[in-house]
Amino acid sequence: MTLQKIAIWDAKKVYESLGCDKGGISILSKKSSLHTILIKNMHVGAANILKQDSLSIGADLAVPTGVITAKEKYVDGILIVTTKQLEILSRKELAQPFGLKEFAKNLKEFIPSKKYPTKIMGVLNANEDSFFQNSRFNESDASFRINKMIEDGACIIDIGAVSSRPGSIAVSWEEELQRAKPIIDVIYKEKLFEKAKFSLDSYEPKVLEYALENGFSIVNDITGLANDEVCKVASKYNAQVVIMHMQKDPTVMQENPVYDDLIQEIDDFFKERIEKAKSFGIEDIVLDVGIGFGKTLEHNLKLIKNLEHFKHFGYELLMGASRKSMINKIVETPTEQRLPGTLAIHLESINYGASIIRCHDVKEHYQAIKVQEAINTQEVL
């Protein structure tokens, strides 16, 4: 008899290869996924009940010393559970006092849902002040650049005509449309939208409407649907909408950004904007935590490590850290040399739940992601 520790990435596949009974594979898979969930401001009575209920099903709740004697009225805790135990507790706590009924409803959201295949969103900019020079282009080489990105592995192309880098100044919608229109026209004329999905990185309703009228199907809004008119346009064309979080605006967003509770504040923002989107009839939603948009290096790193938290909304997560300055703050590097750091961030983001990767270097990302997928899907038995 020998022992061998194995890495389980796809639990169902592991148990299938072992030859387990089909009925038991689902049960075993749920027991193989471990979750750690931070609970804040929990009534001490709830903490004691949840502790006992967790232990009774083989899970656990880490709490401060003194909880059993109710030393403090409200405490924080960390729940350590499998997917199966999450399902049990989300039902069991519905009958308990001290706010546990509402807790149970919220806990249910953290039960793992649908897995999305990884998609690459290639970035092309029709403005001369984009922070990465190689992403800039015009209508004369639009078709070539777009076809090359699709050939290299992009299934979404994100077109931008206005820079949103820190300190950038917004332009009029007329100027933005003047920049974007020739590229949009090329995409429509050559029916490139039949080869890939097209997204417009904009928050101007009239510019977005022109794009959606001419083959585009995604609204990538860095303001997170702040403008009702953007919601109306997106709904009119049944567009997919990327809701991004940004603190303040590009002109001042990097001037000492501060959060009392980074994860919770962004969670609250998403909740509010999702409700707003739905009120306009928008259902196809993607969430983007907005790396570098009103965040310090520490904020960005924390968001990457906690990206999985935002999966509880049930929508795809987009990660866009391509060649951003956070890499330079870790290892001093010019924009042109930040591909290795970009790949490191994006591959980790996929591990933490991102399924759409927005990047400048499509070919390199396609290879890296395929290698990662091969490793993660390799049979361990």
Give which of 83, 87, 166, 76 is closest to 129, Cα–Cα.
Answer: 166
Residue 332 CB: number of other CB atoms within 10 A? 8
Question: 324 an active-site residue?
Answer: yes
H helix or E strand, kind and range, residue 103: helix 100-108
Give the active site residue among 114, 358, 363, 370. Answer: 358
- Output the CA angle 145-151-156, nearest 5 degrees: 75
Are 218 and 240 in contact, with CB atoms under 8 Å apart? yes
Burial class of residue 255 (count of CB atoms within 10 Å of its CB; 0-12, 13-18, 19+) = exposed
Q: How far apart are CA 338 and CA 91, in angstroms?
A: 47
DSSP string, 188-211: HHTTGGGTSEEEEE---HHHHHHH
Q: Are strands 119-125 and 197-201 parallel, antiparallel or unpaired?
A: unpaired
Select which of 179, 311, 324, 338 is catalytic.
324
Q: Are 46 and 98 in contact (CB under 8 A)?
A: yes
Annotated catalytic residues are: 324, 358
